[in-house]
C-alpha cells in the first residue's frame, strides 16, 4: 500500500524518474547538511541577525528590516530553540523549493536527459545553499520563497486554477514581508497571467489580488511604524539606503542649491565629513558595500548620534533610525534629482559592474571572523555561553571564491545562447510553451538586475535566486542550440 494515495499526488510527481530523483535528492540533502554541521556546529550571525532576534523577543510588528523573517523565527522558536533545527529546516526548504522549480521545468519544457542530470546535480550539490541556510538571516527563506514563486509562474501559464491563483498571491505577499526585493514580483506574475488562455476576469483577479495584499501590508506597516516614530513610514531603512546611495557622488559635485530645510543639520554633518576626509572618499564605490550606512564615522551614523544624544532606544533602532529616516530620504532625493548624471556615473554604473561579479561580502568568513556571538543570540538559542566554534572560519571564501565570477559567466552564457537561438532562427522550432517561458524568465532576470542595480550596493548573497534561474534556463537554451545543429 503506497504511503500517499495516488489520487492525492499531483500528476507531475507520478513520473517514476522524478520520484527516483526526489529520493536521491533527499539522500544528498541529508548527507550534505549532516557533514556541513560537523564543521559548522553553530549558526552564522551578523548585525542583521541580532536585529531579527531582538524583534522576535520583544514582539515587534515592524523592524529596521522587513518583519517576515522575524515572524518566521518567532514561530519556529515555539517548536524548538535549536539553531541546528532552524538551519536544517532552512536548508531543506531551499533545496525542496529548488526541486519544485526543477521538476516543474522538466515536466512542462521536457529538456533532454543530459541537461536534466547536469542541472539537477549542480543544484543539489550547490554549497551556496548550505552557507545561506546557516545564516540567521532572511537570505535563505527569501531564496526558497522566490524559487517556489518561479515554479508557480510556469504552472500559471500552463494549468491556471483558482486555488493556484490564491496560493500564488499569498506567496508573493509573504515573500514581500521577508524582503522588499519582491516588490517587482507582481509585475512578472502579471505577465504570466496575461500569457494564459484564461478569461479576462481570471487574469484581472490574478493580477490585482497580490497588488491588493501587498498594499494592505504596506498600509499596516506604515501605521505600525508611526507608533514608534510619529511618521507614517513604510521602510525605516529606506531613507538610510537612499542617502547612502546618493553620497557616493557627493565628492564629485558642487551644490548650487540649498537642500530642503529639514536637512540643514544633516547637510552640515555631511560637509564636515567630506572636508575632513578629503579626496580619499573619491575612491569609494558601491563595490565597497554600504559604507556610508554602516561606518560609525560616516555622516549617517554621526548625525544619528548627535540627534539621539544619551537617549535610550528600546525599540531595536526603529525609533532612533526612524526619527532621521525622513531627513535622509529627503536629502538623498534632493541629491539624486538634482544631479542625475553624477548619480548614474558614480553609483549606477559601478553597481552595474558589481552585478556581473558581485562581492562575497559576509560570505567570505564565518561569523564575521569572531568566535563569539551576542548574548541575545545565546539567549534565543539556549547556548551555554557566547563562545562559538567552527572547523574553519575562512574556508568558505575558498569554496565560494569563484561563485561571483561564475555568476557573471552565467549571465553572459544566457545572453549569448538567447541571442543564438533568436539569430539562427532556431527559436522558431521551439514549442510555444517554451518560447513563452523564455520570454517570462528573461523579463524576470532583467527586472531583478534593474532592481538590484538601482536600489542598493549589490552583494553576492542577493544573487542566489537569479543564479538558479540562469543555471536552469542556460542549460535549456544550450540544448536547444545543440539539438538543432543535428
> 44 - beta bridge partners?
135
Quick one: 342 and 394 in the same domain?
no
Average pLDDT along the chain, 486 residues, taken 10 residues at a time: 49 77 95 98 96 95 95 98 98 98 96 95 98 98 99 97 97 98 97 95 98 98 91 90 96 92 96 90 86 92 89 83 94 96 96 94 96 97 96 97 97 96 87 94 98 92 98 95 57
Residue 260 DSSP symbol: P
Spatial distance between the Cα atoms of 393 and 399, rounded to a whole number of angstroms: 12
Quick one: 349 and 369 in the same domain?
no
pLDDT tens-digit readout, 106-155 = 999 999 999 999 999 999 999 999 999 999 999 999 999 999 999 999 99
Given this model, what pLDDT does residue 1 score? Answer: 40
Quick one: 129 and 272 in the same domain?
no
Residue 452 DSSP symbol: H
Residue 306 lies in a domain: yes
Q: Which of 181, 176, 298, 319 is nearest to 245 (CA)?
A: 298
Residue 156 lies in a domain: yes
Quick one: 79 and 221 in the same domain?
yes
Residue the block writes with cell 505577499: 173
Given this model, what pLDDT does residue 171 score? Answer: 98
Residue 424 DSSP symbol: T
- State the residue range of the domain holding 308: 236-356
Q: Which of 293, 325, 356 is the last residue of a domain?
A: 356
Given this model, what pLDDT does residue 66 score? Answer: 95
Given this model, what pLDDT does residue 287 score? Answer: 83
Quick one: 249 and 160 in the same domain?
no
Total residue count of the chain as it appears in this document? 486
Residue 1 lies in a domain: no
Quick one: 66 and 102 in the same domain?
yes
Quick one: 285 and 329 in the same domain?
yes
Quick one: 97 and 245 in the same domain?
no
Q: Which residues contact 24 (CB under 8 A, 6 or more apart)?
A: 124
| Total domains, the chain | 3
Residue 14 DSSP symbol: G
- H or E element that contains 203: helix 200-229
Quick one: 294 and 330 in the same domain?
yes
Phi, psi torsion values for 44, nearest 5 degrees: -105, 140
Quick one: 102 and 52 in the same domain?
yes
Quick one: 344 and 381 in the same domain?
no
Q: Which residues contact 273 (CB under 8 A, 6 or more apart)?
A: 297, 298, 299, 302
Q: Which residues contact 325 (CB under 8 A, 6 or more apart)?
A: 229, 231, 233, 236, 237, 238, 239, 240
The Cβ of residue 215 has, within 10 Å, a number of other Cβ atoms equal to: 12
Quick one: 259 and 220 in the same domain?
no
Q: Which of 302, 322, 356 is the last residue of a domain?
A: 356
Measure CA of the first residue to CA of the last residue in the chain; give whole Å.
Answer: 45
pTM of the model: 0.94
- H or E element that contains 254: none
Amino acid at each position: 500500500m503506497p504511503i500517499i494515495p495516488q489520487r492525492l499526488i499531483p500528476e507531475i510527481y507520478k513520473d517514476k524518474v522524478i520520484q527516483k530523483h526526489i529520493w536521491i535528492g533527499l539522500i544528498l540533502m541529508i548527507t550534505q547538511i549532516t557533514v556541513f554541521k560537523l564543521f559548522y556546529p553553530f549558526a552564522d550571525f551578523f548585525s542583521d541577525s541580532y536585529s531579527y532576534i531582538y524583534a522576535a523577543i520583544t514582539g515587534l510588528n515592524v523592524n529596521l528590516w522587513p518583519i517576515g523573517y522575524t515572524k518566521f523565527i518567532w514561530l519556529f522558536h515555539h517548536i524548538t530553540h535549536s539553531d541546528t533545527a532552524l538551519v536544517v529546516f532552512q536548508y531543506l526548504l531551499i533545496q525542496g523549493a529548488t526541486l519544485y522549480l526543477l521538476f516543474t521545468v522538466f515536466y512542462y519544457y521536457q529538456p533532454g536527459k543530459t541537461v536534466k542530470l547536469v542541472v539537477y546535480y549542480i543544484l543539489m550539490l550547490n554549497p551556496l545553499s548550505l552557507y545561506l541556510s546557516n545564516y540567521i538571516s532572511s537570505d535563505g527563506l527569501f531564496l526558497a520563497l522566490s524559487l517556489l514563486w518561479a515554479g508557480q509562474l510556469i504552472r500559471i501559464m500552463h494549468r491556471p486554477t483558482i486555488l493556484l491563483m490564491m496560493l500564488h498571491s499569498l506567496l508573493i505577499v509573504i515573500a514581500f514581508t521577508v524582503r522588499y526585493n519582491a516588490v517587482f514580483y507582481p509585475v512578472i506574475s502579471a505577465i504570466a497571467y496575461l500569457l494564459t488562455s484564461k478569461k479576462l476576469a481570471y487574469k484581472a483577479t490574478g493580477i490585482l489580488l497580490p497588488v491588493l495584499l501587498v498594499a494592505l501590508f504596506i498600509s499596516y506597516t506604515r501605521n505600525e511604524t508611526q507608533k514608534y516614530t510619529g511618521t507614517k513610514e513604510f521602510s525605516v531603512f529606506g531613507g538610510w539606503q537612499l542617502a547612502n546611495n546618493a553620497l557616493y557622488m557627493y565628492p564629485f559635485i558642487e551644490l548650487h542649491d540649498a537642500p530642503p530645510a529639514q536637512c540643514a543639520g544633516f547637510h552640515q554633518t555631511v560637509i564636515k565629513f567630506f572636508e575632513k576626509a578629503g579626496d580619499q572618499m573619491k575612491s569609494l564605490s558601491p563595490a565597497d558595500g554600504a559604507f556610508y550606512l554602516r561606518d560609525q564615522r560616516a555622516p549617517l551614523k554621526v548625525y544619528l548620534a548627535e540627534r539621539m544624544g544619551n537617549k535610550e532606544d528600546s525599540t531595536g533602532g526603529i525609533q532612533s533610525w526612524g526619527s532621521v529616516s525622513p531627513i535622509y530620504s529627503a536629502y538623498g532625493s534632493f541629491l539624486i534629482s538634482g544631479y542625475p548624471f553624477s548619480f548614474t556615473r558614480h553609483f549606477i554604473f559601478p553597481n552595474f559592474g558589481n552585478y556581473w561579479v558581485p562581492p562575497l561580502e559576509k560570505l567570505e568568513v564565518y561569523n564575521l571572523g569572531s568566535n563569539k556571538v551576542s548574548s541575545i543570540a545565546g539567549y534565543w538559542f539556549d547556548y551555554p555561553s557566547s563562545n562559538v566554534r567552527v572547523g574553519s572560519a575562512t574556508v568558505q571564501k575558498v569554496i565560494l571564491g569563484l561563485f561571483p565570477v561564475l555568476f557573471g559567466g552565467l549571465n553572459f552564457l544566457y545572453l549569448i545562447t538567447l541571442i543564438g537561438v533568436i539569430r539562427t532562427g532556431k527559436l522558431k522550432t521551439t514549442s510555444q510553451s517554451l518560447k513563452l517561458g523564455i520570454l517570462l524568465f528573461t523579463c524576470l532576470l532583467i527586472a531583478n538586475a534593474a532592481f538590484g542595480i538601482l536600489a542598493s550596493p549589490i552583494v553576492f548573497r542577493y544573487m542566489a535566486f537569479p543564479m538558479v534561474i540562469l543555471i536552469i534556463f542556460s542549460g535549456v537554451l544550450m540544448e536547444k542550440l545543440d539539438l538543432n545543429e543535428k
